[in-house]
Amino acid sequence: MPLLEGKTALIIGIANERSYAWHIAKSLLEHGCRCAFTHLPGEKNERRTRRAVDALGLSDAWMCPLDAGKDEEIDATFSRFSEKFDSLHVLVHSIAFADRDWLAKDKFVETPRAAYLGAIDISAYTLLGIARRAAPIMQRSGGGSIMAMSYYGAEKVVPGYNVMGVAKAALECTARYLAAELGQKSIRVNTISGGYLRTLASSAVGGVDDIETHNLERSPLRRNVEGADVGKTAVYLASDLSSGVTGENIYVDCGVSTIGV
């Protein structure tokens, strides 16, 4: 029997076929999971996400507009989701935003208050806001698994990652506090610290070419991570194989985070 047969997932964060969320959805689908999706509001965004979802072999997938920066849109997404689906077992949070003006080397100290708070709002608070709405449905479904995408810049300084690093530290910590409270409802919450992957979001970070070269030369596996590497870990976290795992941050980075110098 497929690992995820009978499970339903809500995937938040597919912009296109390069998105981490796309690779996660592909792996979940391969293991028998039913997937529903959100996209950023606006026709162009909807078309772009729809194209990527079609490429997963789903022609009539459920999709809902969501700007996670707006509470009323999170509410609307979950009320529309509940009208369509009677269960939710897996929630994928794969979204982040920071003003690219401040994602350049030696620019962190210049970060304005609004840019700092905005990055934390969209990249970290949204996990809490979304988990709160997902929890009752997951509890009715017999429990669930929530996972969010993080990056090593949460722990160590990655030049150019700047305020996103601060936001990722908040995200990882938010996941641990959520894990502590939602565990009583049989809901697990974990983060995946993914390696560098060329996507729309990562192209905003200054100095990404250096990161790719460093990974090729210095990572234990001597390569950059592929979306499928993260997808397979997402299947593990979504499935019963990780039944005792919560509040964890799992590195899927070809070992980059294990190297000191």
Ligand X SMILES: NC(=O)c1ccc[n+]([C@@H]2O[C@H](COP(=O)([O-])OP(=O)(O)OC[C@H]3O[C@@H](n4cnc5c(N)ncnc54)[C@H](O)[C@@H]3O)[C@@H](O)[C@H]2O)c1
Total count of residues recorded for the chain: 261
Strand 90-93 and strand 8-12: pairing?
parallel
The residue ranges that bind ligand X (CB under 6 A) are 13-15, 18-21, 40, 66-69, 94-97, 122, 149-151, 194, 196-197, 199-202
Using the minimum distance from each CB to ligand X, give the nearer residue, 20 or 236.
20
Q: Is 246 within 8 Å of 189 (Cβ atoms)? A: yes
Sign (positive or negative) of CA dihedral 123, 246, 137, 232: positive
Q: Give the list of residues 6+ apart from residue 218 with CB closer than 8 angstroms, or none.
A: 256, 259
Using the minimum distance from each CB to ligand X, give the nearer residue, 84 or 100.
100
Q: Name the minimum Å distance from CB 1 to ligand X.
A: 30
Tell me which residues are annotated as active site: 151, 161
Using the minimum distance from each CB to ligand X, give the nearer residue, 141 or 256.
256
Q: Name the minimum Å distance from CB 112 to ligand X.
A: 19
Using the minimum distance from each CB to ligand X, give the nearer residue, 141 or 160.
160
Residue with tokens 């997404």: 77
Q: Name the minimum Å distance from CB 62 to ligand X.
A: 16
DSSP state of 40: -
Q: Name the minimum Å distance from CB 98 to ligand X.
A: 9
Q: Is 9 within 8 Å of 33 (Cβ atoms)? A: yes
